[in-house]
Chain A
């Protein structure tokens, strides 16, 4: 099955700086890669996703890049703010028959933005 790894497990940045979080996956057939943000006491929320037919996607201060050859994808957050502090999970979708596809999540990275 798919194996998704995130590195590092924690990241601390100064407010206003950029943060980059990287994930690797093992199954070259995976074709969908979402990023979820989890705030304290809440469930994960989708913040951005990318499909394997594109290399980059942006949404305001966040962007995701995908390198299919190297089997890694990264989350980029620019102009970080204290409210960006959270746990971020990456995931990869195992290819299945549409409705039977499932996500495999990384273990998460804790991002701390220092005021």
Chain B
């Protein structure tokens, strides 16, 4: 299995631009999580989906952030407009099902907003 796939691996953009991060979970997994990692705040859960349905988005910082999961094999995290304080590493993770606990993380997308 290829594991969780994220793209792009690195993104540099200017303040005010729209940023879209992409994630392909492990095939057959039905839970997907988006995390943000910074030195100051560590690993924060932004939102997670079960069977493509958003369950908890309480970690989404503000309305500039949105996430979608149109099907079981694809999810996006969008920031519009982006700000310098959004600079971080964004991870996607997937889990196989309701009765399992292990989350498998992707390699992350390093976002830099200038």
Where the two chains meet, the residues of A that have a C-beta atom closer than 8 Å to any C-beta of B are 32, 34, 36, 41-46, 49, 89, 93, 98-108
Where the two chains meet, the residues of B that have a C-beta atom closer than 8 Å to any C-beta of A are 4, 31, 33, 41-45, 48, 50, 55-56, 91, 93, 97-99, 101-108
Contacts A99-B97, A99-B98, A100-B56 hold; do A42 and B43 have CB atoms under 8 A apart?
no
Q: Is the CB of B107 within 8 A of A46?
A: no
Cα–Cα, bound, A46→B101 (Å): 10
Q: Is the CB of B107 within 8 A of A43?
A: yes
How many A-B contacts are there with CB distance less than 8 Å? 54
> Which residues does chain A contribute within 8 Å of B56, judged by CB atoms?
100, 102
Question: Which of A34, A99, A102, A108 meets B43, CB within 8 Å?
Answer: A108
Residue of B nearest to A101 (CB): B101
Cα–Cα, bound, A44→B104 (Å): 8
Can you offer 30 A-B residue contacts whose CB atoms are under 8 A? A32-B101, A34-B102, A43-B4, A43-B93, A43-B106, A44-B43, A44-B91, A44-B105, A46-B103, A49-B101, A89-B42, A93-B101, A98-B98, A98-B99, A99-B31, A99-B50, A99-B55, A100-B50, A100-B55, A100-B56, A102-B45, A102-B56, A104-B45, A105-B42, A105-B45, A106-B42, A107-B41, A107-B42, A107-B43, A108-B43
Q: What 9 A-B pairs have minimum CB-CB distances, sorted nearest first?
A: A43-B105, A99-B98, A107-B42, A105-B43, A98-B98, A99-B50, A44-B105, A32-B101, A43-B107
Could you say which of B4, B43, B50, B98 has the most chain A C-beta atoms within 10 Å of its C-beta?
A: B43
Question: Which of A45, A106, A107 meets B105, CB within 8 Å?
Answer: A45
> Which residues does chain B contribute within 8 Å of A99, judged by CB atoms?
31, 50, 55, 97-98
